[in-house]
Structures are given as C-alpha cells and as structure tokens.
C-alpha cells in the first residue's frame, strides 16, 4: 500500500475578509492521480497554491512529502512540477531553448529528457519555433514538458486541458497516466470537467464554495450516490420473459426494454451478452 504523500487537515484560507477554503481535509497516496473538481471560483487553485507553499493557510495543517509548506516550501517546490493557467515560458525563445534553459536551472544535464517529453506531447516538430507563435494548447503542452523535466515526485496541474483540442486532451491525459505508472509521479489535476478526468483518476475531490463536498475513488462515490441505474434498450425482440442473462427488465413500449442495474459496470456487458436477434435495433 502506497504512503500518503499529501496530508491535509482542517485547512482554511481567508483572503480579503472572505473564506475561500473551509475546513478541508484529505490525503493523497503516492503515485496516484487525484482530480480536484469544482466549478469556477470554488477554491481549487487556492488549494494548489497552499499545497505548493505559494500562499500561507489561515489555519489547519498541511504535509507534502513530509514537509510543511509554510516552513519548508522550497523543498516541496524543488521536488514538484507545476502547470498553472499562465505558461511561465519565455515567449521570444523557442520551445527547445526554453526546455534547455529550464533544464540548466533544474540541474538536469540530459537533453534526452526534453526530447522525450516534446515527442510525448506531440511538440517535437515545433521545437525550433518561438513560443509567441504557438496557440494556447501548444504552449500548454510545452509547459507540461517543462514541469516534468526534473522528474518531479508531485505534479500540480491547474486546468491542464484548457486550450487543448479533443485530440490534445486525450494525448496529454493518456501520457500522464503512463507517466504515473512508469515514474511513480503523484498527479493533482484541477478541472471543472469531470468527464475529461473520468477513468484516469484514482481519487476525486469535489469542491464547492471552498468546502470539500465529496471525496474518494469513483467506485466509492458511486456506491454512496448511485442507487438505481436504468438502461432502456431498443430491440426488435419482444418476449414474455422478465429476466435476461440475470438482469430483470420490463417491456416499457413496443421494441423497448427497460433494465434496472445495480452497477454502472453492468451497462457494457448487458448489450454484449444479448443474442444477435435482441441486439437488432430497428430503424
Ligand atoms: N488573492 C485573492 N484575494 C481575494 N480573493 C481571491 C484571491 N484569489 C482568489 N480569490 C477568490 O477565491 C475564490 C476561489 O478562487 P480559485 O481561483 O481558488 O478558484 P478555482 O476553483 O480555481 O476557480 P477557476 O476554475 O475559475 O480557476 C474566488 O472567489 C476568487 O475570487
């Protein structure tokens, strides 16, 4: 069982007289991907900034890799990569020059790493173009490569898919998953789009108005909230039975059967287990 690389207890943050983060507690396992989800203004960025020691909590306790960001933020930042809304790349330098410059700063002496990352994020062919000529999505890909140069233990990503097209979103998220498995990096991703992160996170934290409303793996959350799943299937077959392959159903109208399922996992096996006749969907 992996250890808790991040532990947060009773975290509160007030800014300009407003409570932005309210009594938030959670922990994150090393090598996992955690989705920090919530609408705009819910406090996700503030939590990332608190974890990386950029701002101080009003109260509560944070431990990141065993360090308190308040007193040992430098140690955390040295071992983590961060991608925020702003790119923090030099606009007049090429993608390659940027990565070489930051490699030097981070003490990374192997240019192979930069090459691998640019290839992984689909930016190798643009390596000699200046950042100022790039779209938002292209800048985001280079920023991701930059954040991963020194093989961080933790990667903080604030809306990393903003500005990316659907293909780019796929590429970035798939690569993060591979990276987690290969290098054991712990990833925290802020997003307001649950669908994008579904399937790639081990844990989800739902934030609203600075309050942690819900947290856990998708299975745990579904178990708590998803009680009845109804699937209506159009089929040419009508019959007298009320159970198919162990799944009870009703005929709700001509050509349509309604199944009541206990788990989302049953949705895909259900049509696959149907004989061809029942899978026939009339026009
Ligand atoms: N420096 C600040 N001073 C005062 N209020 C702030 C400050 N920074 C953020 N806030 C407020 O805190 C709240 C949470 O902001 P935050 O950026 O953490 O939310 P978010 O969930 O990341 O939103 P988004 O998805 O839009 O980036 C917002 O109401 C914002 O206006």
Query: Is the CB–ligand 1 distance for residue 38 below 6 Å?
Result: yes
Instruction: Tell me, in angstroms, the distance from the centre of ligand 1 to residue 207's CA.
Output: 12
Count of beta carbons in the 10 Å neighbourhood of residue 238: 12
Which pLDDT belongs to residue 239?
62
Low-confidence ranges of the chain (pLDDT < 50): 277, 279-283
Q: Where are the alpha helices (DSSP H) in 149-229?
A: 166-183, 194-197, 218-225
ipTM of the complex, rounded to two decimals: 0.93
Whole-prediction pTM:
0.81
Token duo for residue 33: 């991907």
**Cβ atoms of 93 and 139 closer than 8 Å:** no
Instruction: Tell me, in angstroms, the distance from the centre of ligand 1 to residue 209's CA.
Output: 10
**Cβ atoms of 188 and 51 closer than 8 Å:** yes
The string of pLDDT tens digits covering residues 34-91 is: 999 999 899 999 999 999 888 999 999 999 999 999 888 888 888 999 898 777 899 9
Query: Is the CB–ligand 1 distance for residue 46 below 6 Å?
Result: yes
Neighbour-count burial of 142, counting CB atoms closer than 10 A to its CB (0-12 exposed, 13-18 middle, 19+ buried): buried
Query: Is the CB–ligand 1 distance for residue 15 below 6 Å?
Result: yes
Query: Is the CB–ligand 1 distance for residue 270 below 6 Å?
Result: no
Instruction: Tell me, in angstroms, the distance from the centre of ligand 1 to residue 140's CA.
Output: 21
């Amino acid at each position: 069982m992996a250890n808790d690389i991040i532990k947060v207890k009773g975290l509160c943050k007030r800014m300009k007289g407003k409570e932005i983060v309210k009594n938030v507690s959670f922990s994150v396992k090393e090598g996992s991907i955690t989705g920090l989800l919530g609408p705009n203004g819910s406090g996700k960025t503030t939590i990332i900034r608190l974890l990386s020691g950029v701002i101080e909590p009003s109260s509560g306790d944070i431990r990141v890799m065993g360090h308190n960001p308040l007193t040992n933020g430098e140690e955390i930042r040295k071992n983590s990569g961060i991608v925020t809304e702003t790119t923090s790349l030099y606009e007049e330098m090429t993608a390659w020059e940027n990565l070489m410059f930051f490699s030097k700063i981070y003490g990374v002496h192997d240019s192979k790493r930069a090459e691998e990352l640019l290839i992984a994020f689909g930016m190798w062919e643009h390596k000699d173009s200046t950042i100022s000529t790039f779209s938002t999505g292209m800048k985001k890909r280079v920023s991701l490569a930059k954040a991963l140069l020194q093989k961080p233990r933790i990667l903080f990503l604030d809306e990393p898919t903003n500005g990316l097209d659907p293909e780019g979103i796929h590429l970035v998220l798939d690569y993060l998953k591979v990276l987690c498995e290969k290098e054991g990096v712990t990833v925290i991703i802020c997003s307001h789009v649950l669908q994008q992160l579904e399937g790639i996170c081990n844990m989800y934290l739902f934030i609203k108005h600075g309050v942690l409303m819900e947290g856990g793996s998708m299975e745990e959350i579904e178990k708590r909230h998803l009680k009845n799943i109804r699937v209506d299937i159009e089929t040419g077959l009508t019959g007298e039975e009320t159970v198919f392959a162990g799944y009870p159903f009703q005929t709700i109208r001509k050509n349509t059967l309604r199944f009541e399922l206990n788990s989302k996992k049953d949705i895909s096996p259900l049509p696959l287990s149907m004989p061809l006749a029942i899978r026939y969907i009339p026009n």
